Amino acid sequence: MANENLGVLNALDVAKTQWYHFTAIVIAGMGFFTDAYDLFCISLVTKLLGRIYYHVEGAPKPGSLPPNVAAAVNGVAFCGTLAGQLFFGWLGDKLGRKRVYGLTLLLMFICSVASGLSFGHSAKSVIATLCFFRFWLGFGIGGDYPLSATIMSEYANKKTRGAFIAAVFAMQGFGILGGGIVALIVSSAYEDKYHARAYKDDPVGSTVHQADYVWRIILMLGSVPAALTYYYRMKMPETARYTALVARNAKQAAADMSKVLQVDLESEQQKVEKFSQDPRNNYGLFTREFARRHGLHLIGTTTTWFLLDIAFYSQNLFQKDIFSAIEWIPAAEKMNAIEEVFKIARAQTIIALCSTVPGYWFTVATIDHLGRFFIQMMGFGMMSIFMFAIAIPYHHWKEHSKIGFVVMYSFTFFFANFGPNATTFIVPAEIFPARLRSTCHGISAAAGKAGAIVGAFGFLYAAQDPNKPDPGYKKGAGIGVKNALLVLGGINIAGMLFTLLVPEPKGRSLEELGGENMDETQTGEGREMQPPSLGPFGG
């Protein structure tokens, strides 16, 4: 604090890896498993929704969601997530991490179940109900981002803090994989029971009545991990950093962490009071002092996450080209409705298993050795290289080298996850002061979700062939997949540049990074407190 850090915080920083670390990873990580399952499972069932509710009598191809409906179904959860990140991030600093943590999970549980229900039987009523509950599902998911990251960073020791936060985020990969596996099981069970002919052979009979249960079951099963985790979240004690530095209750912080660490810790209320009376430790988010100390840091975390998510979510643009090119997914009219769900789930599960999940765990294994800065710069750089490598000879890959196309595509996913998709989540939980940590992480995450909306929908229009757009899109509005990929490569290069604004947190305490333990030997009597150094080599 004024002369040294609190003993309870020092104990957390130097604690050996213990059982409570893994418990915290599982409790926080299961939330992220649920987040990813709920966010990404919708892509497995949108084709089915189109067949069930937008069938056109006599059409040569199965029914599909109109562009505006598809945008709403896929994007409404992103909008809810963005709002939830801002709201719960702020609330986590005002009320405490634990008090808000269970609320987000409860909201996710209720809305997962409700997403599989509907009012009425018409397309409008079903889609309106689905969108309503997926917005609030996203709202709960949004709260999980800043709270999970902040709680894990405040529980971890400084030596392996990056790996612990990365492990929480890596559960997202298992959530994506879990969604694919559930869809495979449910669709294969229904296909075995209610086998139907392909659309080209029987347009009406290809979508059996029972197919309406398939998408509902897949969405509703996202509530299971949320329900299993709720009790354990409520049993977690509040983090010592919030209790001591924000709530200013040193006695409670010492008591909570004595149980967690299984050591006797002294209550140091005088240090807390001295810290709280220092005006240098009381500046708010919208102050000149915050701008001086952390303004560039916040610009760095928001812009890198925004740019990353444009590129990351835009990769879905050419997913359909890859799946059809290697014949993982036949033409829609050659399959029945449930079979199409199975084929889409199989393809996405293979991609998740081979590139998405390994990328996350490469980050977990190396982040505290290589550092956040190196992994983020490398990830952005390699994503640029592989996107340019796909885009420049784009037609060659599609027509002459299908396997090469898949390999290039998989590597872009791998280096997104062994790169900025993980580090943009980790760094904002480390570099801001405790009383603003959850808020700043929420702002950074919300910027990322804004990028996801741009990537998933802005580039969806941009990638349309100007001469032969997909049904429902205006002719001449797009620039084509090749040019869209070139733009995305440039966006990744911009991400590398903005990474220079973010400090390297590896091996440093949260209080040092947030400027909360600057003692008199560092600042000098009457001297102005200096912000943490910028760039990868600061500190």
**Max CA separation in the chain (angstroms):** 85
Q: For 463, which DSSP code?
A: T
Secondary structure of 464-489 in HEC code, one letter for each residue: CCCCCCCCCCCCCCCCCHHHHHHHHH
The pLDDT, as a whole number, for residue 324 is 63
Asked whether 435 and 398 are in contact (CB, 8 A), the reply is: no
Closest CA to 282 of 388, 134, 435: 435
* Amino acid present at 175: G
Q: Residue-wise over 437-455: b if at least 16 C-beta within 10 A, else e?
A: bbbbbbbbbbbbbbbbbbb
Asked whether 406 and 370 are in contact (CB, 8 A), the reply is: no
Secondary structure of 195-235 in HEC code, one letter for each residue: CCCCCCCCCCCCCCCCHHHHHHHHHHCCHHHHHHHHHHHHH
- CA dist 526 → 275, 280, 284, 336, 469 (Å): 16, 11, 21, 76, 66
Dist. CA 461–CA 473, nearest whole Å: 8
Q: For 238, which DSSP code?
A: P
Asked whether 21 and 155 are in contact (CB, 8 A), the reply is: yes
pLDDT in tens, the chain (539 residues): 434 677 888 888 888 888 888 888 999 999 889 999 998 899 889 999 999 999 988 888 899 888 888 888 888 999 999 999 999 999 999 999 988 998 999 999 999 999 998 777 789 999 999 999 999 999 999 999 999 999 999 999 999 999 999 999 999 999 999 999 999 999 999 999 998 999 999 999 999 999 999 999 999 999 999 899 898 888 889 998 999 889 888 889 888 888 888 888 887 788 888 877 777 778 889 999 999 999 999 999 999 999 999 988 887 656 655 666 566 678 889 999 999 999 989 988 988 888 888 999 999 999 999 999 999 999 999 999 999 998 888 878 777 777 787 788 888 889 999 999 999 999 999 999 999 999 999 999 999 999 999 887 777 777 777 777 766 667 766 777 788 888 999 999 999 999 999 999 998 999 888 887 644 434 333 333 343 344 443 33
Closest CA to 363 of 168, 496, 179: 168
Asked whether 115 and 137 are in contact (CB, 8 A), the reply is: yes
Dist. CA 269–CA 255, nearest whole Å: 12
Closest CA to 427 of 268, 528, 259, 302: 302
Q: Is 371 left (phi over 0), alpha (psi -120 to 50) or beta?
A: left
Dist. CA 332–CA 330, nearest whole Å: 6
CB atoms near residue 485 (< 10 Å): 26
Asked whether 505 and 3 are in contact (CB, 8 A), the reply is: no
Closest CA to 130 of 116, 142, 109, 140: 116
The pLDDT, as a whole number, for residue 472 is 64
Could you tell me the pTM of the whole model?
A: 0.89
272 phi, psi to nearest 5 deg: -65, -45
Closest CA to 221 of 489, 378, 33, 350: 33
- Alpha helices in 41-160, H assignment, sequence order: 42-53, 67-95, 97-115, 123-155
3-state SS, residue 385: helix
The pLDDT, as a whole number, for residue 259 is 85
Dist. CA 175–CA 217, nearest whole Å: 16
The two structure tokens encoding residue 21: 């670390």
The pLDDT, as a whole number, for residue 375 is 96
In terms of Cβ atoms closer than 10 Å to its own Cβ (0-12, 13-18, 19+), residue 526 is: exposed
Asked whether 434 and 510 are in contact (CB, 8 A), the reply is: yes
Asked whether 35 and 226 are in contact (CB, 8 A), the reply is: no
- The residues, ordered by sequence, that sit 6+ positions from 261 with a Cβ below 8 Å of its Cβ are 11, 12, 15, 18, 20
- CA dist 513 → 236, 297, 510, 516 (Å): 25, 11, 5, 8
Dist. CA 441–CA 86, nearest whole Å: 9
Measured between its terminal Cα atoms, the distance across the chain in Å is 18
The pLDDT, as a whole number, for residue 529 is 36
3-state SS, residue 367: helix
The pLDDT, as a whole number, for residue 471 is 63
